[in-house]
Chain A
Amino acid sequence: MFKKILLIEDDKFLRELMNKKLLLMGYDVVSAADGESGLVMIKESKPDVVLLDLILPGINGFEVLEKAKKDPETANIPVIILSNLGQSEDIEKGLKLGAKDFLVKAHFTPQEIINKLKAILD
């Protein structure tokens, strides 16, 4: 049984790259390009981990996280924030809202991101 990862990312190219890497590493991937649909997908597809961007069209990543954590159905799904924000305020806010980790995209390679995923899945 493959582990399922939900990728919420609005940049098409970044989404494709991450999608490819995740598939290569043997994960099942579903993705969403904005906050609204991301939230729906969390509920419907019940992923094992969510990779969540913060700057998104419509409702932003913080709100997605907050709503997902409030819903008892999805509250236990681990969320890793993967964003290019990265100031201490943002990181603290993300972790407080219940994210497992906060990764700045420009500071991690795809492989390093997968390693973080693995650590949470194991």
Chain B
Amino acid sequence: MYEEQTNFKETKEEALRRVRVALLNILEDTDESRKEAVNERNKTMAIIENLTDGILLLNKRNEVEIISPPVVDFFRKEEAEVVGKNIAELLEGEDFKKLKDILFDDEAKKTKVAFRQEASIGERLDLEVTTVFLKDEVEERGVLIIFHDVTRDKLVERMKTEFVSIAAHQLRTPLSAIKWTLRMVLDGDTGEISAEQRDLLEKTYVSNERMISLINDLLNVSRIEEGRFLYKQEPGRLEEVVRTVIESSQELLKMRKIVLSEDIPEGLPLVEIDKEKIYLAVQNLLENAAKYTPEGGSIDISLEKHETEVVFMIKDSGVGIPESDHERIFTKFFRGENVIKMETEGSGLGLYTTRNIINAHRGKIWFESKEGKGTAFYFSLPLARQKTSEEKS
């Protein structure tokens, strides 16, 4: 019996010893993990704090968890007074209105994982704000916001577009003088000229006209980039604009011996448009089609009503766009490899301008093309908002 007891005691002690060792091991592991975690945290914080982009992490109650030095500067606050505060309190005042709109866009939260927008803080800062919604399977975890300072880029951009705009305007004056002089000489206002002189001057006149239209293109592009291109959007009829463009292009089509057929149905719904700009977009597409279609070719134009939009199509039997150029066709100053060789005039600004116009209307533009067969360009414009019966009355 005694022996048994001793045995029992020994095994108990043995067990306890083993537990102790195991516990010590666990503690050691935990400590190790804690050290690792602290280490990782320090690393992460070092990265965050030394990034030139600003980082702001909000928990799901919109309270500030992490704020990096650039963001503290953007908000003109001290770090200590910011951490733990609700973000709404920190963004009071007119200066932060745009930023607030972005951060509290609940609609975006529901539908998107991340999005990027531009926001200015008063007059002093232009920021590119990337918002990332952190979620796991169970719930929202908060929001990560990355601020990229684009103030300087914006300033340079503004100066650039202003320069182009002034330059374009100043260039028009001497070109007007050339145009008027040539025209007056050609019209016989300064006396008779020989057939040879006439021929040369006519060609000079055409060159000058080309220059004037190039400057118009540049002017449009600079305005697009200033973001003040869309002047007046109101419910209008796309078919009317398209018909006006077709009418004014008759001479060009006749010259190029191109047959144009149109399929424009009656009773299309209204679309929200800036007529002048849509005119420009359609004109660019039609001019392209005419320029890059060999004599005797054909162009089809059609309009079609879809559920939420009207779709415009222009299809030609022209030279097409080489496969390798498809990706770059809408970029500024880009011209297709095959058309550069054709000696046709072109600034490389037409499609760039057109896409910007369509995008500004919240529309879409796309194309299908086969080299040697032809090209079809499409764009869609959303229908004008239906007025409710109350608004009508």
Contact = CB atoms under 8 A, between A and B. Distances in A.
A106 B208 CA distance: 10
A106 B176 contact: yes
B189 A20 contact: yes
Contact of A17 (B169, B177, B231): B177
B177 A11 contact: yes
Contacts, number: 51
Contacts of B175: 106
Given A14-B177, A17-B180, A21-B189, A106 B172 contact: yes
A14 B183 CA distance: 13
B179 interface: yes
B207 to A, nearest CB: 14
A106 to B, nearest CB: 4
A106 B179 contact: yes
B212 interface: yes
B192 interface: no
A109 B232 CA distance: 29
A17 B181 contact: yes
Nearest to B223: A87
Interface in A10-53: 11, 13-14, 17-18, 20-21, 24
Contacts of A24: 189
A105 interface: yes
A111 interface: yes
Contacts of B173: 11, 14, 84, 105
A121 B355 CA distance: 42
Interface residues of B, number: 19
B251 to A, nearest CB: 16
B187 interface: yes
A57 interface: no
Interface string B148-176: 00000000000000000000010011011
Contact of A110 (B184, B212, B215): B184
Contacts of A13: 177
B231 A105 contact: no
| Prevailing SS type, chain B contact patch | helix
Nearest to A13: B177
Contacts of B234: none
A24 B175 CA distance: 22
| Prevailing SS type, chain A contact patch | helix
Chain A interface size, as a band, is 20 to 34
A110 B182 CA distance: 10
A118 interface: no
A111 B183 contact: yes
B183 A89 contact: no
A21 B179 CA distance: 13
Interface string B275-311: 0100000000000000000000000000000000000
B169 A105 contact: no
Given A11-B177, A17-B181, A106-B172, 15 more contacts: A14-B176, A14-B177, A17-B184, A20-B184, A87-B223, A88-B232, A89-B231, A105-B180, A106-B176, A106-B179, A107-B212, A109-B179, A109-B180, A109-B187, A110-B184
Interface of B: 169, 172-173, 175-177, 179-181, 183-184, 187, 189, 212, 215, 223, 231-232, 276
16 contacts: A11-B177, A14-B176, A17-B181, A20-B184, A20-B189, A84-B172, A84-B173, A85-B169, A88-B231, A106-B172, A106-B212, A106-B215, A110-B183, A110-B184, A110-B187, A111-B187
- Top-9 shortest CB links A-B: A105-B176, A84-B172, A88-B231, A109-B183, A106-B172, A106-B176, A17-B180, A106-B212, A13-B177
